[in-house]
Amino acid sequence: MPIWPASCAAAQWRGDRQEQQDAVLHLPLAHHSCALLLADGLAGHPAGAIASGLAIRAAARTLEAHYRHPDALALALHSANRAIAWHIRDYRAHRGMGTTLLMVLLKGQEAQWLNVGDANLWHLHHGQFDNLVSEQPSESSNRQEAKAGSVTAALCGLPIARSCQGQRLLQQGDRLMLATDGVSALGLSTLRACARQPSCKSVVSAVITALSQQAPAGDNASLIVAAPRRGRLGSVRRKSPLALPWPVAAKENAG
């Protein structure tokens, strides 16, 4: 019988935007591991939704193949950025597209992460609510830079100047919450209240309900809540990477 490496729930809120430019994926892997991926297409750029989807899909493919590599997240980041670069080369009208990307690799009780952009990664531990990527620069200035054509904290097919990475050993009862900047509209007090719910699914439901009540005219918002499970190592049933409604350049499959 398959052993799932983590209890996980995810949801998205479109807000008052015309389209959802975020992309999320929970990717179960073998050897008691899984990957959590969250991307937010840059607003004001052409094809933001395509950028986030491309990044998630390319990163997922790399992690499926190399999740046991010590630099798996860095390899996945490179693949995601390269996929966007290739897409821009083939679709010149999409120049300037970009996306943030937060990736978490859970291996048993160990969490490893790599973040580019303004997403949040909260560690919920015995009532504490710590942002594991809070040391990164404010993305508000980065998005202004992006509008001016100088993107420093997003994947745009160009060299990535800033990223945040780390790892932490999780304990029984701990949870991780990955969230795009749209979730931050609720404020920490509301998020802490939502995080007290008894399950990952109920936490996600509480956050989406709060967004619909407190920020109905807000930005796109997406989140993933996961809690590692203890147990013996075993194989898991894999899910297919995110299926995109648009064609991906054949070059993405090369090399």
Compute the average pLDDT of residues 66-77: 96
Domains along the sequence of the chain with CATH: 6-239 (3.60.40.10)
Strands 128-131 and 221-228: unpaired
If one compares 243 and 11, the residue with the highest pLDDT of the two is 11
pLDDT digits over 193-245, tens only?
999 999 999 999 999 999 989 877 788 899 999 998 765 443 334 444 433 33
CA-to-CA separations, 163 to 22, 32, 99, 173, 216, in angstroms, rounded: 19, 27, 13, 28, 31
The structure tokens 């999320």 sit at: 24
pLDDT band at 4 (very low <50, low <70, confident <90, very high): low
What is the mean pLDDT of the segment spanning 148-169? 81
* Cα–Cα distance, 123 to 178 (Å, whole number): 9
The per-residue pLDDT for 139 is 41
Give the relative orientation of helices 188-195 and 200-214 as an angle to the nearest 10 degrees: 150
Q: What is the pLDDT of residue 127?
A: 82
Number of neighbouring beta carbons within 10 Å of residue 203: 23
